[in-house]
Structures are given as C-alpha cells and as structure tokens.
Amino acid sequence: MTHKRTHTHTPEPNPTTQAPTHAYLQIGEVAERTGVTQRTLRFYEEKGLLKPPTRLDGGFRLYSEDDVLRVEQIKRLQGLLGFTLADIKDMVEAEEVKSQIKATYRKDAEISERRDKLRKAKEVTVGQVAVIDQKLAALHDMKSHLEEKLDQYDTWLQHLEEQSRAQAR
C-alpha cells in the first residue's frame, strides 16, 4: 500500500505563539496551495522574486506561510495586472525594503533616524500607488472607449429592428 509522508517540519518548538496551521511547508505543498508548479517556485527564487527559503539538512526547501502569500501576490500582479516578472521583482523588492525598515525600526533609535526610515517607506509606497494609478487611468480610458462602442452597437440594433418592423408590414 502507498503511504503518505505527513511531514510537519517545525524548526522551533513553538509553544504558545501561533496555532500550528502547518508550520513549515515544502515545495510540493506550496505548489499545490498556490496553484503554481514546483518549477515555477524554483524559477521565482532564481529570479529573485522569492527570497531563498530555509533548507532542511538534506537540502529540501522549507517555505513559510508568508512565502505562500507572496506567491499569491505575484500571481495577482502577473495575471490580473499583466506585469512582467521583472516589474514584479521591483515591486516585491519594494515590499522587502519595507519589511526591512520594519525589522530595523527601533523604538529606542534616534528620532531622526526613525523619521527617515518612515519617510523612505512612505516614498516606496507612494511609488507603488503611482504605478497602480497609471494602470487605473489606462483602464478607465479603455472602458469609456468600449462603452462608446456599446452605444454604437445599440443604435445599430435599434435600426435593424426598425427595418425589421417596417418589412413585416
């Protein structure tokens, strides 16, 4: 009989914090949950879209839930918005910059340093919003264009129905 390996890799005991949703995932599970192939996950890593995950002693990749979220983010950016992986890399790097800022943000640091980091994070985010705004504008433009066309179709259909009625008599 075939038997599944129910690998639940918990690198740390993890006593109280966080329910053991799945602890750490290996590549097959991540692939299944995100709907991309293992190849794609390795490819994204190679291209710098995913940070190199921790490894098991034997070399198996161990992903976090955050990685799953990131993959889903990548998929959204790619599939819905049509960005190239190069574009997306910039965006996830911006995300990375922000989390870096978060990580190095110290309550006890100099106020001016904290302010600078916050401003930097804000700047990055503003850039992201700008990219989105561009897409939004283009899409709105196209939509109004299409709706104009729909009106045209409707008037033509009107015409045809009139002709149809005229001929029925």
Binding-site ranges for DNA (CB under 7 A): 2-7, 9, 26-29, 36-40, 42-43, 55-61, 78, 84-86
Number of chain residues interacting with a copy of itself (CB under 8 A): 44
Q: Which is nearer to DNA, 44 or 117 (CB)?
A: 44
**CA count, 13 A, side-chain hemisphere, 5:** 6
Cβ partners under 8 Å of residue 23, min gap 6: 8, 9, 10, 11, 14
Contact between 109 and a copy of itself per CB under 8 A = no
Task: Please identify, among the stretches 10-18, 34-42, 60-68, 142-150, the one whose residues bind a copy of itself according to the rule CB under 8 A.
Answer: 142-150
Residue 86 binding: pick among DNA, a copy of itself, none (C-beta 5-8 Å cut-off by kind): DNA
Which partner from the list a copy of itself, DNA, none does 122 bind, CB cut-off 5 to 8 Å by kind? a copy of itself
Sign of the Cα pseudo-torsion (160, 165, 166, 169, in order): positive
Q: What angle do CA 26, 32, 38 make, to 5 degrees?
A: 60
